[in-house]
Amino acid sequence: MPVLRVGFIGTGIMGRSMAGHLLAAGHSLHVFNRTQAKAEPLIEQGALWHDAPGDVAAASDVVITMVGLPTDVEEVYFGGTAAVPTGQGVIDRARDGAVLIDMTTSSPMLAERIAAAAITRRLAALDAPVSGGDVGARNAALVIMAGGAREAFAHVRPILGLVGKSVTHLGPAGAGQRCKLANQVAVAIGMVAWCEALAHAKAGGLDPAAVQQVIAGGAAGSWGLSNLAPRALAGDFAPGFMVKHLLKDLAIARECAAATKIDLPGLATAESLFTIAAEHGWTDEGTQVLYRLYAGTDLERIMP
């Protein structure tokens, strides 16, 4: 693979590991993050710091974004805010022919808007959100779900392969985000499933840690039960994946479900439980904090 100038905007829990793999593969890495301190480890390894998202774009052949919320994506791509003035967003400042890849979990409609705006500037934009958590990012073992122009996807497929073990093109702009929303519906309902299973075992007098080990190997097995339940049982609620980001995903999934007129009662239940977790002030905790709602309490108290 030729050495590319890769821009990376958003070096948080996921982005810092992902960007590190690109650097380790020999690409020249241009970085920006709202809080510069979180990019320092990458800068120490040779990444070049820029003071604004547009400056990263102006220096890069491929620009990857891994920020938090759709509003963050909008700011970085389109500007028009105090932090990124109009004309200074990634779309305005990117080099001709650049490929822009948003790996944030965001709205499919926003991905479509970005792709349309990119075309008017002779750029290509892909949405390529990921699954696999902080562990997957650290191990370059993410599952990547991409939408957008097939030629642009083929062009950057080798770059995506440096952070993902599975890289799939699902369709036009927005298709990656729609796949990720399906993933989040399954993840959120699955979280409720293993929390309830362990609460049920504990209430029946069993050691939930022993039960976790046993049932993780059977038909109830899931990524969350294997990776997050042990953290929850050990009282480790550090993120991982923050409650506020899951709630953001579930709100987008709910809006898309409403637009396509389907009813998802499991999603509604999971969203209401994570909303209660947020009301406890746990928005920046890892999603495994949901188990705290169950530990030492009962469902009647969780859902009055």
Residue (of 242, 246, 214) closest to 230 by Cα position = 214
Contacts of ligand NAP in 82-121 (CB under 6 A): 104-105
Looking at the DSSP assignment, which residues form a beta bridge with residue 30? 7, 48
Contacts of ligand NAP in 224-263 (CB under 6 A): 240-241, 245
Residue 269 burial (10 A CB sphere; 0-12, 13-18, 19+): middle
Cα–Cα distance for residue pair 132/226, rounded to 1 Å: 12
Q: Using the minimum distance from each CB to ligand NAP, give the nearer residue, 177 or 212.
A: 177
- When asked if residue 130 is in the footprint of ligand NAP (CB under 6 A), the reply is yes
- When asked if residue 50 is in the footprint of ligand NAP (CB under 6 A), the reply is no
Tell me the closest approach of the beta carbon of residue 12 to ligand NAP, in angstroms: 2
- When asked if residue 133 is in the footprint of ligand NAP (CB under 6 A), the reply is yes
- Is 244 part of the annotated catalytic residue set? no
- When asked if residue 13 is in the footprint of ligand NAP (CB under 6 A), the reply is yes
Cα–Cα distance for residue pair 34/12, rounded to 1 Å: 10
- When asked if residue 66 is in the footprint of ligand NAP (CB under 6 A), the reply is yes
Dmax of the chain from CA atoms? Answer: 64
Q: Using the minimum distance from each CB to ligand NAP, give the nearer residue, 90 or 201.
A: 90
Task: Please compute, for residue 32, the number of CA atoms within 13 A of its CA located in the half-sphere on the CB side.
Answer: 22
- When asked if residue 14 is in the footprint of ligand NAP (CB under 6 A), the reply is yes
Tell me the closest approach of the beta carbon of residue 120 to ligand NAP, in angstroms: 22
Catalytic, out of 38, 165, 180, 248: 180
Tell me the closest approach of the beta carbon of residue 283 to ligand NAP, in angstroms: 11
Tell me the closest approach of the beta carbon of residue 300 to ligand NAP, in angstroms: 31
Dihedral sign, Cα of residue 82, residue 109, residue 144, residue 230 = positive
- When asked if residue 12 is in the footprint of ligand NAP (CB under 6 A), the reply is yes
CB within 8 Å of 40: residues ≥ 6 apart: none
The residues binding ligand NAP (CB under 6 A) are 9-15, 33-35, 38, 66-68, 72, 75-76, 104-105, 130-131, 133-134, 240-241, 245
Residues with active-site annotation: 180
